[in-house]
Structures are given as C-alpha cells and as structure tokens.
Chains A and B, each alone.
Chain A
Amino acid sequence: MTLRALLQPHRIVMMALFAIFVIWCALSLRWDWIPQYAPLALEGLWRTIWILIVTCILGFLLAIPLGLAQAIGPWYLAAPARVFCTVIRGTPLLLQIWLLYYGLGSLFPQIPWIRGSDLWPYLRQAWPYAVLALTLSYAGYEGEVMRGAFSSVNKGQLEAANSFGMPRFTMFRRIWLPQAIRSVLPTLGGETILQLKATPLVATITVVEIYAVSSRVRSDMLIVYEPLLLLALFYLIIAGVITLLFRKFENSVPSR
C-alpha cells in the first residue's frame, strides 16, 4: 500500500479514531503489571515461536513422504497415508493433543523399559507431547496439500529427466520437489499462520507459552481485557511477520 492510498480522508479519520482508542486503552486500563511479567512473557513468546518453527519444519518433512505416497505410492502406502490425513483433518486438534498427553502420558509409566530409558526425563514433561501433536497435525494438513502439488508437476519434465538417465532420487531432488514446493508456497504461508493459531492449545497441557502467560496474568491480577488485547496484538504481529517472510520467499523464487 502506498502512502497516497493511506492518506485518503476516511482512512485518516479511521486512524485518528484508532489512535484515540489506543490512548484510551493506555490511560484507563491497568498496565502496571507489565514490568513484573515482562520476563515471563518474553520467555513465553520465545517458546511459542520455537514450537511454531520446530513443528512446521518437522511437519513439512513428514508431509513430503505422505504426499508422495498418496500421489504415486502403491496402494499399501497410499491407503495408510490417506487414512492418516483424513483422521488428522477430521478430528479437533485439542482432542489429539489431549489424547497424546493424557493417553500416552498415562500409558508410559506402566511400561518398565520406558521408565528405565534415558528418554524418561523428557517424556515426563509436557512439551514433547505438544511438539508431537502439532507436528502430526501440520503433517496431516500439509500432506494433503503436497499430494496435489506432486501430481500437478508437469509430467513432461519428469519424462525428460528420465530419458537423460537421471537417477530417480536426483530427479526427485532436483526437479520434482523444488517445483512442488514452489507451487505450494502460497498455501504454506496460510497453513503456517493456521499453525500459529493452533499453538495456544498446548497451554492446556501445561506448556507455558505466551497464551499461558496471559492466562496467568488474568488470574493473578483479576483483570480480563488487558492481557487478552496485548496477546491478540502479539499474534497479529507474528502473523504479519510470517506473511512478509513468505512473500519474500515467493518473490525470491522465479515464477513461471
């Protein structure tokens, strides 16, 4: 948006109104708790971003074989992949998180060799379940997208690579995957924002990310709107950053 478009009369009025609203919020609501909770909030913010990045990368890596299996795999690979995607997309994420955390969490202590293993100190915490649930969810949604992307790549190019004697893996790495990823980049941005919006759900299994911090402020200070408004602002900013990053990505790959 150019400056000129921003300076239309009605937009100036709206911005003025918004500024008045912000000033009113700053003056009449309670903000004295911020210094006290700022370190915790920063930690929570960092944890939200960390979970978002890790689960998106892991989920995407998992989505590639899922999409590939559905696009060209034999039926004994395609069918489980399709069932996985349907189940993940057909049930609420909250239910999946609770199933993993409470279900596996109550199962593991009963198995002696898991209790004895080196992983046990991690399995007693909440975040591995959060990461696992969010990764699987992202993979489920993205697997479906990748299926479409893989089957939309021009067959002629693959045949050409094949006829030059390119090994199948090189062909996949050099031709098929890059083009599929290029064609899903816009969707990927949207899905990543959806994933961002899914992260507060892990607060329900005691992972202290930014949403959990805001709930704590609400119950400690007995205030309602202030932390929620600030929280919404944080998410808006992160979503904006994701949009910009993906736009930059999209512009940096040559388009047809």
Chain B
Amino acid sequence: MELLSLSPPGWGGNLLRGLVNSLQIAFGAFGLGLVIGLFGAYGKLYGGVVIRDLLGIYTTVIRAVPELVLILILYYVGTDLINKAAEAMGYGRVEISGVVAGIWVLGIVQGAYSTEVLRGAIQAVPKGQMEAARAYGMPALLVMRRVTIPAMMSFAVPGLANLWLIATKDTALLAIVGFSELTLETKQAAASTRAYFTFFLAAGALYLIVTLLSGVVFGRIEKWARRGQPSLRAGQSR
C-alpha cells in the first residue's frame, strides 16, 4: 500500500500525473472530434457529391483500421508535415509535445465516429422544425444554433457519451508511442517495483472511477437535453 502513496517513495503521484495527462488528451480529442463531427455530419447531409464521397471514405477507413495503426500513421504524418512547414518558413525542426500530438491523432479518429453519431441525430430531428425556421427567413447558421443543435441534443447525447468513454480508453494506446499517460506510468511504476498487481489494479480503479463518474455526468446532461420531452419509455410496450 505504501507503494501508492503520493510522496516520492510511493508512485501515487506519478499515477495521478498520468491520469491528468490522459484526461487532458481525452478532453481535447473529444472536443476536436466534436468539431470535426459537426462539420462532417453537415457535409454528409447537405454537402455536394464530392464532399459526401470524401467523408464516406474518411469515416469508413478510420472505423476499419485499428486505432493503434492510425495513431502511428497520423503521428508520423503530422510531425513530418509540421517539420516540412517549419523548414519552409525558415525555422529548424520542431519538437511536438505529446499532448498536442495525442489530441490531434485521437481527435481525427474521434471525428469519424462523431460524424456518424451527429449525422444520425440530425436526421432524427423532425424536418418540419428546420423547415419552419427556414420559412421565417432564419439564416442557416442561426437555424443550426437555435433549432437543429438543441433539438438533436437528446438524440446525440447517448452516442456522444459512448464516444467520450472510448476517448478516455483510447488514450491508453498512446502508451505504445511512448507518451507518459496513465497506462505507461503504471507500467513503469510496476516494472521498477515488481508489484504488478498493485499498480495495474490501482490504474484500473482510476479508469473505472472516471468511467462511472462520466456515466453520472452524462446521465445529467441527457436529462437536461431531454427536458420537456415525453419519456421515451412511456410509449413503448411489448
């Protein structure tokens, strides 16, 4: 147990630092994924044929190739591009921080999934609502902000909650490219003390706490997004 204490002889501090790093990346990636997903969903629904096909390829490829492989490809492509750009502008090679790289890589992966979630949610909004707003001469952006997004929230939240959980768990994959998030910190702590079970179980508990707390938070959000709507259960009977 004293192995887990927060001060230096124990490794608890390292684990918590790893957890903070993990959460930071998960937050960033989830946010970036939402932005990509919103544009992607609109592109898929209202875009031209070319945009629709390109987005189709993006979501299909990202969802069929393992995250680990994508992380490696995107990591190298990203650093290569940035270094080329930096050299072209006359700077030397740039060292990219792990957090930024992690957010960029996981964000693009998340974007593909949230494109699908948001597209489904937008489609679930009754068309008449958007048409009514358009008929009153609302500009497209205002329709999106005032009508589409609030109305689709209740359909999107369960899917987005799932994506958030995937984001927190996918941060563990960054351990393989050597970024010191929770899983890698745990492995290092375990390897240097030989107390594998203690540390892996502790890390598992931390992840589980994050998951369970997120469940509570998203439950609240869903309730808020559903305010004023009749309960879905009421109409169902089997």
Residues of A within 8 A of B (CB): 8, 10-11, 14, 86-87, 89-96, 98-99, 102-103, 106-107, 152, 154-155, 193, 196-201, 204, 211, 224-225, 228-229, 231-232, 235-236, 239-240
Contacts and interface: CB of A to CB of B under 8 A. Distances in A.
Contacts of B119: none
Interface stretch (B37-45, B85-93, B136-144, B194-202): B194-202
Interface stretch (B146-154, B167-175, B217-225): B167-175
A236 B165 CA distance: 24
For chain B, what secondary structure do more than half of its interface residues adopt (helix, strand, loop), or is it mixed?
helix
B96 interface: no
A102 B196 contact: yes
A96 B186 CA distance: 12
Interface stretch (B4-12, B63-71, B99-107, B125-133): B63-71
B26 to A, nearest CB: 11
A155 B183 CA distance: 45
Counting from the closest, the 7 A-B pairs by CB-CB distance are A92-B172, A90-B211, A239-B64, A99-B200, A197-B66, A92-B169, A103-B196
Sorting the interface of chain B by its residue count into under 10, 10 to 19, 20 to 34 or 35 or more gives: 35 or more
A156 B191 CA distance: 56
Interface of B: 49-50, 53-54, 61, 63-70, 72-73, 76, 165, 169-173, 175-176, 183, 186-187, 190-191, 194, 196-197, 200-201, 203-204, 207-208, 211-212, 238
A232 B73 CA distance: 9
A201 B66 CA distance: 9
28 contacts: A10-B53, A14-B53, A14-B54, A87-B204, A87-B208, A89-B211, A90-B207, A91-B207, A92-B173, A94-B172, A94-B176, A95-B172, A96-B204, A102-B196, A103-B200, A107-B197, A193-B64, A197-B66, A199-B66, A200-B68, A201-B173, A225-B73, A228-B69, A228-B72, A228-B73, A236-B65, A239-B65, A240-B64
